[in-house]
Amino acid sequence: MDELYFQLGWQHIINWDAYDHILFVIALSAIYLLGDWRKVLVLVTAFTVGHSITLALSVLHIIRIPAALIEFLIPVTICITAISNIIRKSDEPQKLQLNYFYALFFGLIHGLGFSNYLKSLLGSQANIVKPLLGFNLGLEFGQIIIVMCILLISTAIVKFGGLKRRDWSMFLSSATFGVAFLMVIQGVRALFI
Q: Which residues of the chain have pLDDT under 70?
A: 1, 90-97, 123-126
**What per-residue confidence (pLDDT) applies to 1?**
60
Q: Write the CA distances from 10 to 1, 46, 49, 134, 144, integer angstroms.
A: 14, 17, 16, 10, 10
Q: Is the pTM of this model over 0.85?
A: yes
Q: How many CB atoms lie within 10 A of CB 159?
A: 13
- pLDDT tens by residue, 51-98: 889 888 888 888 888 888 998 999 999 999 999 999 987 666 665 567
CA-CA-CA-CA torsion sign (139, 94, 180, 79): positive
Q: Please tell me the distance from the alpha carbon of residue 2 to that of residue 189, in angstroms, as a whole number.
A: 38
**What per-residue confidence (pLDDT) applies to 138?**
92
Q: Please tell me the distance from the alpha carbon of residue 35 to that of residue 46, in angstroms, as a whole number.
A: 19
**What per-residue confidence (pLDDT) applies to 156?**
96
